[in-house]
């Protein structure tokens, strides 16, 4: 071994082989790993991020003092959670319906992106924060 170390051309030879081999390993690995795509548009909504939408579009009727409190109080997370635990499908059906006699809010004032955000939030288990 000591002779080997003292012979620079043999060492160069081994180093070249090692380099080629490690390059091969590196590229072989690189092919197997899928790139992680981070979509900055994909923000996970919570009650905290959607409260303003609910307050503006639902709470006027669905709260104490409102005309539809008996059909659900949407003024606080605890109450909304209870309604969704009971039937999250009813909530989704209401906000996605195009039937003016069924959809919520009755005026149909949610934008399509607000509807999508609310549906995703419900399907994600309606996190509070
Ligand atoms: C203008 C008043 C008004 C607004 C605003 C409103 N609702 Fe309603 N909502 C009602 C009334 C009245 C009913 C009961 C009549 C019916 O079933 O359509 C109801 C029923 C519901 C029901 C069914 C409850 C049950 O037990 O069957 C859900 C769910 C609901 N609303 C969700 C919402 C959501 C979510 C919003 C906001 C995006 C909203 N509502 C906005 C008046 C309103």
pLDDT of residue 116: 97
In the structure, how many helices (H) and strands (E) does the chain have?
5, 0
Shared-domain flag, residues 7 and 57:
no
- 40 is a domain residue: no
8 Å CB contact between 59 and 74: yes
Confidence of residue 19 (pLDDT cuts 50, 70, 90): confident
Shared-domain flag, residues 54 and 104:
yes
Residues 106-120: tens digit of each pLDDT: 999 999 999 999 999
Compare 10 and 119 and report the one with higher pLDDT: 119
Q: Is residue 37 predicted with pLDDT exceeding 90?
A: no
What range defines the domain where residue 24 resides?
2-32
Burial 16-29 (b: 16+ CB within 10 A, else e): eeeeeeeeeeeeee
pLDDT of residue 9: 82
Q: What percent of the chain has pLDDT over 70?
A: 81
Q: Where does ligand 1 bind, in terms of residues with CB under 6 Å?
A: 57-58, 60-62, 67-68, 71-72, 90-91, 94-95, 104-106, 110
Confidence of residue 12 (pLDDT cuts 50, 70, 90): confident
For the question of whether the overall pTM of this predicted structure is more than 0.85, the answer is: no
- Rounded distance between C-alpha atoms, residue 27 and residue 124, angstroms: 38
- 128 is a domain residue: no
CA distances from 84 to 78, 80, 88, 113 (A): 10, 6, 4, 20
- 41 is a domain residue: no
8 Å CB contact between 91 and 83: yes
pLDDT of residue 10: 78
Q: For ligand 1, what atom is nearest to the CA of residue 72?
A: 24
With the most atoms of ligand 1 within 8 angstroms of its CB, the residue from 68, 96, 99 to mutate is 68
DSSP states along 26-60: HHHHHHHSPP----TT-PPP-HHHHHHHHHHHTTT
User: Rounded to the nearest whole angstrom, what is the distance from the C-alpha of residue 104 to the centroid of ligand 1?
Assistant: 5
Give the total number of structural domains in the chain.
Answer: 2
Shared-domain flag, residues 26 and 55:
no
């Amino acid at each position: 071994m000591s002779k080997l170390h003292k012979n620079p051309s043999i060492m160069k030879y081994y180093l070249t082989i090692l380099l080629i081999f490690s390059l091969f390993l590196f590229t072989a690995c690189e092919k197997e790993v899928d790139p992680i795509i981070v979509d900055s548009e994909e923000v996970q909504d919570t009650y905290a991020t959607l409260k303003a939408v609910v307050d503006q579009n639902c709470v006027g009727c669905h709260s104490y003092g409102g005309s539809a409190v008996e059909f659900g109080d949407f003024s606080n997370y605890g109450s909304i959670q209870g309604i969704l635990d009971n039937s999250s499908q009813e909530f989704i059906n209401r906000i996605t319906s195009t039937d003016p006699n069924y959809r919520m809010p009755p005026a149909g004032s949610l934008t399509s992106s607000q509807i999508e955000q609310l549906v995703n939030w419900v399907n994600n288990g309606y996190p509070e924060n």
